[in-house]
Structure 1
Amino acid sequence: MRVGNRSARSRLGRAAAACAVALAAAFAATAPSAHAEASGPAVDVTVNTQEGLGTIPATAYGLNSAVWDAQMNTPAVAGLLGQAGVGVLRYPGGSYGDIYHWQTNTAPGGYVAPGTDFDAFMGTVKTIGAQPMLIADYGSGTPQEAADWVRYANITKGYGAKYWEIGNEIYGNGYYGSGWETDTHTDKSPTAYADNVVQYASAMKAVDPSIKIGAVLTLPGNWPDGVLAAGDAADWNRTVLSIAGSAVDFVIVHWYPGGQGAATMLAEPAQLTGELAQLRQEIDQYAGANAANLQVALTEINSNQYEDTQPDALFGADAYFTALEDGVFTADWWDTHNGATSVGTAPDGATDYGDYGILSSGGCVGTTCEPAMNTPFPTYFALSMLSKVGRPGDTLVRAGTDQQLVAAHAVRQANGDLAVELVNKDPDNTYTVKLNYTGYSPSTATPTVYSYADEGTAITSAAQGSSSTQTLPPYSIETVVLTPSGQNATALTAPGAPTVSAVTDTSATVNWPASSGGAVTRYGVYRQVGTVSELLAESTSTGATLHNLVPGTSYTVNVLATDQAGHLSQPSAPLTFTTGTPSSSTCAASYQFSDGWGSGWVANITVTDTGPAAIDGWTLNFSFPDAGESVSSGWNGNWTTTGTSVRVTSLDSNAQLAPYSGNSTTVGFVGSNTGAYGPPTAISLNGTVCTTTYTS
């Protein structure tokens, strides 16, 4: 998230406090926008239920609430949030988390509305059947204050509050030059934050060892990721993980993409996959022995564009599931109420009030006023649609589309039904969607389709279309729910979560807990390749060694069991691992990250001839793992790029490399990134994959 975005959002929160007045809930009727519904080309959507992406947790669908919001605990709001299926409510609200004192329900320097104290908040949480995500005051509080809050919440009151963040966006405390977050500590460095997180965790877990503690990080490619302040040896994420990684249970990131315009914004959810993958790499590299246990919470998310109109709803519908598919255990939308700040017009002609809330605050900008208090904005219906697709315990499965303006996500529900969410990001065209399935045979019954039309006032449902064809109007969200035919039937449960060991450059060993519910004839280990499953190994036991893997390559696999009738079980949880580079090669390469600033970075690559023959003229090849990465400029070589593939050839001055590590040469480049900027997983010299190491 960029600094300017966060600063603006702080102002929005305070504007919302001024706007929020206690009025009865009312719903303003707003007519859907008109469109030229010229049919676009047919869209192929493929759903592969053999490619599992994990189970939807009870904490999946989250939302922020704030103590400056006088409506946060009213019956009207509780009713709306309960109907939307909200599973997590975050409190006390963004940057207020670093000025809020729970005992007195005060936030010095900020407005706190009546009726927003912790007990009132927990009443709403319990009413809607959600869980709290609580921000312990790091900026102006102490470990003792946080520990006392845990004691009151879980010992005195028995609330069972499980998830506790230590501070909000503390990296915005001015240490890197931009400051919006309160931090009264003399030392505002990432080292000081990490050391203090360890103290907070110790004090809080001494009261209740069952709680989960979260530390603040930033997503790769989002400020201040990669930034080094004077005297620092590492950036925020690396420092916090290396010191506090062993003391916490999850990490916290926020995501507000910085692109401009609806079309750019609606393409941005695809960036999350690379950014979350790179974050996981950082966790694995720097958090030590506890790395595998650290989960990721996305506790603030919004588009920063057209916040209370249909484009933001489409963004949310796509981004929630993208985040969950990529491993977060909660995605928490910003915000319940936020307040009108500016007036604009969305591409569909709807009025945008610059309001990040899912419910209207009823405020005005000049003579232009929002609809009545608590009127749902389109983002409310996008959030409500999530539970039509999948509920906690259901299995996320792979879905793909051949049209970039149509997003698809799918869930295998616990009762055997298959739900496919379709998001049309085109403001003008209706698409005919052709549905294709792997691993699932739908019945011939007409599917139930839940629809949210452009700027609609409700989600509608009807039996329409067929299991193979649906019509998707402009700027709409549809969820198609299909019932299974008898061909899907098996009593076998999914195998347990697989683990990996003995990973080399060309092989890996995968083990898993057995499937139950019947006799298993064999297990298959399948690689996810888009929406196509590639069988890598079969076994009659609960383990298999995968051979002939490609060095320096990321693999995501599922394990499926086969019963005596030849039916496949549902897939296991996904397992992702990356093969190494050869331990013995005729060349060595060292990739060194030097500096970064969110949208770019500097790296150097040192190559060494470790073989028996001298090299006179060399070519270096590697590929970036993310589509948003590119080389802006390079030195000490001739640089050419094709897509994400990079080729560097020698200059006359560095063409000769002596054998047996006689000498090395270093090339470097300035990279540009939109989103993640992960390092290449393998580097080749004259066609040979080198033994590759990474430093920062």
Structure 2
Amino acid sequence: MNSLSVTWRSLACVLFSPVLALAQSVAVTVNTGTAVRTVDERVFGLNATMWDGEAGSAQTVNLIQQAGVRTIRIPGGSLSDEYHWRVNKTLNNTWTWSSGMNKFADLITGVNAQAFVTVNYGSGTPEEAAAWVAYANAATTSDAAIGTDSKGYNWQNAGTWAALRAAAPLGTDDGMNFLRRSRATPYALKYWEIGNECYGSWETDQQAVQWDPFTYATRAKDYITRMKAVDPTIKIGVVVQANEDELDAKSPQTPLVTNPRTGAAKKGWTPRVLARLKELGVTPDTVIYHRYEQAPKADAITWGGAYENDATLLQKAKTWPTDAAAIRQMVTDYLGATEGAKVEIVVTENNSVYAKPGKQTTNLVNGLFLADSIANVMQTEINALLWWDLRNGTDFTNNNGTDLYGWRGWGDYGIISSAASGGPATSYEGYPTYYAFKLLSKFARHGDSVVQATSGSSLLSVFAVKTLAGDTNLLVINKDPSATTTANFTVNGFTPASSASVFSYGKPQDDAAKPGGSGATDLASSTMTVSGASFSASFAPYSMTVIALSPASTTPTTPTTPTTPTTPTAPSTGGGGGGGGGGAPSLWFVGVLAALAWVRTFRKYSRA
């Protein structure tokens, strides 16, 4: 299979034809003078895991660079609460994991990415976390004391661990050569978080009172104090949930806390953590949120409820503003307006299903969802989104039903494959989620301005940015599985040049990756003619497209400066912000069928 882009192949995803003007038609308005926020590169993030032995390989680094990933989180979701970084083991295991700090560092530095590090709350100590900060960030001359922890291990001082980083490997490995990197220069890892989903009884928690918000917040103070004593410049986050009443059934149900604004008594994890932190005089730098959109079929059968559904998944991302607003309200309520304003919201895990990944995770719908999720997060004040994950593992045992779109008969959270008999031939094949990242790198980069875009259909999401170079880029996601949709664009405040660059990914590229498939598996690219600020383009079913409009003049409109951070409001029922409205599409005309028949002659492809 040829992985090179073929210019004319983009016609399979984006069609410009008088005949196709009769297809379903949607009005799209872009207001380039109305800024929503500034793009933070941390939204283009990805989790790396300790069980991925290829995490730091040159080939992985090259693929992640090409995908435009700008942030990496380590060491591996729920296992973070069992992971001892110094020995690259979890709990009392005698064996080591495939990737440790050495390979993680190769990935982070190779991509030149920012990083989030999850320290061990469940079975670790604040001193262990502080020593990890020292290894990553301290100078070899640092004498910041760390000391002996509650388990009796003496972590000495920060310089001890910086010196280990700077040392050359020993002739006889003492089990720590993977940490000897001959590197005196610190890695300068800025973002840290205390534990992973510590509110959940699925997490390892060796505290006397397990999954307890009071205990968590109390220990968090000690973690923050000790970690910042080593490096006061780092940013440290605590884990939260978006629902004020949400609490695991196995967590202590009391005491309740009172919301200072509403007077209501609340038992939820987030209110109790934040209220305790305020009581202790501690303001975290970030609050950490994880979001998975669906239950797996096996769990839904056991406990009831809905499970993976393509159409449902593709409408989930537009609710990000609701979650962002709920979290911001709790931060303000329980920490106070002044201290709460210092706290940023970040999302360090997101995917389509919370466990038992089936075929939806590896097929085209999840790629569309990834692009939609990140683009909708950019409509909120959330400053980071890290997808779960880079490379996870091939699983044939979950929901691979024919009611889900796609030809791959296995699940995998990763954006890059893991070789398996009957599945991927190598551990370096990009899934549609990989190409969604790559497409987003054509859409927006750090410092660009997100501007207002609205669509008249919930099946056609449209987003827009003004780039630092003065271009206007449009991201269009057609969520309809079978119908081509024509968008009638009105771009206010910007006059585009007569030619635009187009990048797209959809069914033709995905199908080309099938065994025996033909054609290009990479993004398709082309140019299109644009006749002023009002123009039309048609988008193939299940496709995602970026249209890059350069200005006709050298004096583009400067968008209004957004408030930072932008506090979102709940989305309206009529759409907006790029998430798509609920307008009904117009009729499907016979003329488009002939055009689609012509197009089909060219089609082919390509947790924790």
1:510 maps to none
2:543 maps to 476
Contact preservation (8 Å) 1:345, 1:351 = no
Q: Structure 2 vs 1, CA of residues 278 and 303 (structure 1 numbering), >3 Å: closer, same or farther?
A: same
**TM-superposed deviation, 1:471:** 1.8
| Residue of structure 1 aligned with 2:285, choices 249, 257, 272 | 249
2:177 maps to none
Structure 1: runs of 5 or more not aligned = 1-25, 173-178, 491-567, 580-623, 629-642, 644-696
| Residue of structure 1 aligned with 2:470, choices 416, 419, 428 | 416
Richer in strand (by share): 1
1:298 maps to 347
| Residue of structure 2 aligned with 1:447, choices 496, 500, 511 | 500
| Residue of structure 2 aligned with 1:271, choices 319, 326, 331 | 319
1:44 maps to 27
Q: Secondary structure at the match of 1:574?
A: coil
**TM-superposed deviation, 1:376:** 0.3
Q: Secondary structure at the match of 1:184?
A: coil
Alignment partner of 1:430 is 2:484:
yes
Q: Structure 2 vs 1, CA of residues 309 and 110 (structure 1 numbering), >3 Å: closer, same or farther?
A: farther
In 1, Cα distance between equivalents of 2:227 and 2:86: 16
Structure 2: runs of 5 or more not aligned = 139-161, 163-184, 257-266, 295-306, 513-520, 575-581, 583-608
| Residue of structure 1 aligned with 2:82, choices 99, 111, 116 | 99
TM-score, with length taken from structure 1: 0.63
1:86 maps to 69
One-letter code of the match for 1:237? T
| Residue of structure 1 aligned with 2:417, choices 339, 355, 360 | 360
Contact preservation (8 Å) 2:283, 2:335 = no
In 1, Cα distance between equivalents of 2:324 and 2:23: 33
2:194 maps to 166
Alignment partner of 1:389 is 2:412:
no
Q: Structure 2 vs 1, CA of residues 95 and 66 (structure 1 numbering), >3 Å: closer, same or farther?
A: same
Alignment partner of 1:53 is 2:36:
yes
**TM-superposed deviation, 1:264:** 0.5
**TM-superposed deviation, 1:57:** 1.7
Q: What does 1:487-498 correspond to in 2, within 5 Å?
A: 489=555
Q: What does 1:470-619 correspond to in 2, within 5 Å?
A: 470-486=537-553, 489=555, 569-574=558-563
**TM-superposed deviation, 1:370:** 2.9
Q: Structure 2 vs 1, CA of residues 371 and 222 (structure 1 numbering), >3 Å: closer, same or farther?
A: farther
In 2, Cα distance between equivalents of 1:65 and 1:322: 23
Contact preservation (8 Å) 1:99, 1:140 = yes
**TM-superposed deviation, 1:286:** 0.9
**TM-superposed deviation, 1:485:** 2.5
Contact preservation (8 Å) 1:27, 1:372 = no
In 1, Cα distance between equivalents of 2:446 and 2:291: 23
Q: Structure 2 vs 1, CA of residues 118 and 349 (structure 1 numbering), >3 Å: closer, same or farther?
A: closer
Deviation per residue, 1:100-146 (Å, 9 max, x gap) = 11111111377976551213211211111101110011011011111
Deviation per residue, 1:316-357 (Å, 9 max, x gap) = 101001112211111101111112223444644422412111
| Residue of structure 2 aligned with 1:182, choices 204, 223, 230 | 204
Q: Structure 2 vs 1, CA of residues 578 and 320 (structure 1 numbering), >3 Å: closer, same or farther?
A: closer
Deviation per residue, 1:576-630 (Å, 9 max, x gap) = 6799xxxxxxxxxxxxxxxxxxxxxxxxxxxxxxxxxxxxxxxxxxxx98769xx
**TM-superposed deviation, 1:269:** 0.5
TM-score, with length taken from structure 2: 0.72
Q: Structure 2 vs 1, CA of residues 99 and 577 (structure 1 numbering), >3 Å: closer, same or farther?
A: closer
1:459 maps to 523
User: Which of the two has higher C-alpha Rg?
Assistant: 1
Q: Structure 2 vs 1, CA of residues 185 and 317 (structure 1 numbering), >3 Å: closer, same or farther?
A: same
| Residue of structure 2 aligned with 1:373, choices 422, 427, 437 | 427
One-letter code of the match for 1:293? K
In 2, Cα distance between equivalents of 1:201 and 1:243: 14
What RMSD, in angstroms, separates the aligned Cα atoms of the two structures?
Answer: 3.0
One-letter code of the match for 2:105? M
Q: Which moved more, 1:254-263 or 1:316-325?
A: 254-263
Deviation per residue, 1:357-402 (Å, 9 max, x gap) = 10111124xxx42343220000000011111001111111111100
Q: Secondary structure at the match of 1:135?
A: strand
Alignment partner of 1:337 is 2:365:
no
2:158 maps to none
Q: Secondary structure at the match of 2:60?
A: helix
**TM-superposed deviation, 1:450:** 0.6
In 2, Cα distance between equivalents of 1:116 and 1:353: 24
Alignment partner of 1:198 is 2:221:
yes
Q: Secondary structure at the match of 2:384?
A: strand
Contact preservation (8 Å) 1:63, 1:335 = yes
Q: Secondary structure at the match of 2:73?
A: strand
In 2, Cα distance between equivalents of 1:53 and 1:140: 42
Q: Structure 2 vs 1, CA of residues 461 and 275 (structure 1 numbering), >3 Å: closer, same or farther?
A: same
Q: Secondary structure at the match of 2:504?
A: strand
| Residue of structure 2 aligned with 1:151, choices 129, 134, 138 | 134
Contact preservation (8 Å) 1:308, 1:353 = yes
Q: Structure 2 vs 1, CA of residues 122 and 191 (structure 1 numbering), >3 Å: closer, same or farther?
A: same
Contact preservation (8 Å) 1:27, 1:375 = no
Q: Secondary structure at the match of 1:337?
A: coil
Q: What does 1:600-639 correspond to in 2, within 5 Å?
A: none
In 2, Cα distance between equivalents of 1:224 and 1:358: 31
Contact preservation (8 Å) 2:324, 2:568 = no
**TM-superposed deviation, 1:268:** 0.5
Alignment partner of 1:119 is 2:102:
yes
2:180 maps to none
Q: Secondary structure at the match of 2:83?
A: coil
Q: Structure 2 vs 1, CA of residues 57 and 28 (structure 1 numbering), >3 Å: closer, same or farther?
A: closer
One-letter code of the match for 1:80? L
Alignment partner of 1:219 is 2:219:
no
In 2, Cα distance between equivalents of 1:352 and 1:428: 21
Contact preservation (8 Å) 2:309, 2:404 = no
2:299 maps to none
Deviation per residue, 1:220-252 (Å, 9 max, x gap) = 389548998432303111111122363310000
Q: Which moved more, 1:41-50 or 1:400-409?
A: 41-50
1:561 maps to none
One-letter code of the match for 2:274? L
